[in-house]
Amino acid sequence: MLSIDTPLRTESLSLRRRPWIVRCGWVAAGVASLLLVAVTIQWQTAAEPNPIPTEFPTVWATMDMGRFEEAEKLHDTLMRQKQHGQAYLILDAALCLSYKDFEAAESRIQAATSKGALRPYALEILGKSFHGRQRWYDAERAFATLAQENPQSHVAHFWLAVVYNDLHMFGQAIREVRLATELQPNAPRARVLLGSILVRAGRYLEASLQYQQALKLVASDAALHVTSTVSWTAALVRCLLQAGQFDAAMAAIATVAEPSVELQVLRAECLLALGQPAEAERECRRILDHDENQLAALVTLVKASMQQKAAPEYAQLLEAELAKNPTNSEVMYLLAQIHGQLGNQQRQQELLTQSKRLKQLQIRSIELLDDVWWQPDNVDGRLELAGIFDELGDIAQAKMWRQAADGCQQRIKALQDNRP
């Protein structure tokens, strides 16, 4: 059985800092489909040491790099060494976790001892499993316990940041991920996570520095296992564009031997920003020759064309795109400009009125984001943001904000239920 006894930190005004102990097993609550989980984790840390076999770090590192088939072979070898049965259970749980079999992972952790050197690995697996099942409070407690017992564990702080980021508790996420980068400066994923959170705050230059550092780390250390850095480069370029660093953005794109379509569109955006609309138009046409459904390329093409001449030939295409996505404010604005060129004042005014409404929603979303930044108990704010993103047509963001609201509500209830 596993025990977590760690006071959680919260900056919420309504939830004060208090220590508590959670003891749990699976308990059925009534006949409803709601399964009340009171997670019990009763681990003893002061017992006799549980040594780590020499093969263990190799298997763990192999799994961490995503080489699961190779890890399974090494794991089978360890299984045959009966004197290392506890290590076998921990690695078996990690393999179950890699295949998203969370129940199996947790059952193996509960069967293993929690003593000695294996305990941090078991806590990490348990926290990741809870995170995968969106049991936010339990994940937070597991990683907080790991951080308390192992103050130098960058893994604990990184995963606390992941949990808080998923709950859209961005202030807490930044605090934890900064601790992770201080503890392990050469961890590129922590810097990427920090960059993505800073983007949410509109701190684009700070975010770009984190992405640049992550890319430098990967380039200078062949031992770091990163399957692709193209998406990181795209994130860096978007930050540099937002910050007005257009030459730096072009230089970043040039470092990628085979740029993705996203990077090609971003290069066109850079060319446009640098006052080269003809080159931007050519770049977009090359993209559209291969895929005529690339909306981002079409939008950039229209913007480039309008800088050189009237662009009435794009009105029909943009109307078709707006029919598919009636809340695309960028398409709406461009289309209003074109109808202005064509003298269609009524249609232009309709589009500008709709665009104004979308702009108001975007401003309100920024205000709400400031409100919920440090407040884990602002569930209503998160739900309002979900509604705004529904109106803006961003279904993915709306879903994430609803999940964040639900997760924060779960967390608040757990905190209240477990107060002394």
pLDDT tens for 330-372 read 899 899 999 998 899 999 999 999 988 988 998 999 889 888 8
245, 102: one domain:
no
175-to-158, 190, 266 alpha-carbon distances in Å? 10, 12, 31
Answer yes or no: is 288 within a domain.
Answer: yes
What are the tens digits of pLDDT across the range 113-145? 556 788 898 999 999 999 999 999 999 999 999
Q: Flag the least confident range among 108-117, 328-337, 385-394, 396-405.
A: 108-117
210, 79: one domain:
no
143, 157: one domain:
no
166, 229: one domain:
yes
Looking at every residue in the chain, the average pLDDT score rounds to 82
Answer yes or no: is 347 within a domain.
Answer: no
- Number of domains within the chain: 3
Which of the given ranges, 39-48, 224-233, 250-259, 322-331, has the highest pLDDT on average? 250-259
**pTM of the full structure:** 0.80
| Euclidean distance between CA atoms 46 and 114, whole angstroms | 10
Give the ranges where 12-112 is alpha helix by DSSP (H).
56-64, 68-79, 85-98, 102-111
24, 109: one domain:
yes
Q: What is the pLDDT of residue 75?
A: 64
| Sequential DSSP letters for 319-336 | HHHHHH-TT-HHHHHHHH
312-to-11, 322, 337 alpha-carbon distances in Å? 54, 16, 10
Give the ranges where 260-344 is alpha helix by DSSP (H).
261-273, 277-290, 295-308, 315-324, 329-342
Answer yes or no: is 365 within a domain.
Answer: no
* DSSP β-bridge partners for residue 35: 28
Last residue of a domain, one of 149, 164, 179: 149
Q: What is the pLDDT of residue 224?
A: 65
14, 139: one domain:
yes
* Mean pLDDT score, 106-117: 75
Answer yes or no: is 337 within a domain.
Answer: no
Last residue of a domain, one of 149, 180, 197: 149
5, 145: one domain:
yes
Chain CA centroid to CA 304, Å: 33
* Mean pLDDT score, 275-304: 93
> Which is more confident, 379 or 418?
379
280, 232: one domain:
no
190, 217: one domain:
yes
Answer yes or no: is 410 within a domain.
Answer: no
| Euclidean distance between CA atoms 352 and 45, whole angstroms | 64
159, 251: one domain:
yes
135, 99: one domain:
yes
> Which is more confident, 134 or 88?
134
pLDDT over 80 (residue 12)? no
Contacts of 159 (CB under 8 A, 6+ apart): 124, 127, 128, 131, 139, 143
Give the ranges where 112-260 is alpha helix by DSSP (H).
119-132, 136-149, 154-166, 170-183, 188-200, 204-220, 230-242, 246-254
**Letter for the amino acid at 268?**
A
Answer yes or no: is 213 within a domain.
Answer: yes
Last residue of a domain, one of 149, 172, 189: 149
Can you give the residue range of the structural domain that contains 269? 260-309
54, 85: one domain:
yes
Q: What is the pLDDT of residue 130?
A: 95
* Mean pLDDT score, 70-96: 70
pLDDT over 60 (residue 306)? yes
For 101, other C-beta atoms within 10 Å of its C-beta total: 16
Answer yes or no: is 80 within a domain.
Answer: yes
Answer yes or no: is 105 within a domain.
Answer: yes
Q: What is the CATH number of the domain that holds 65?
A: 1.25.40.10
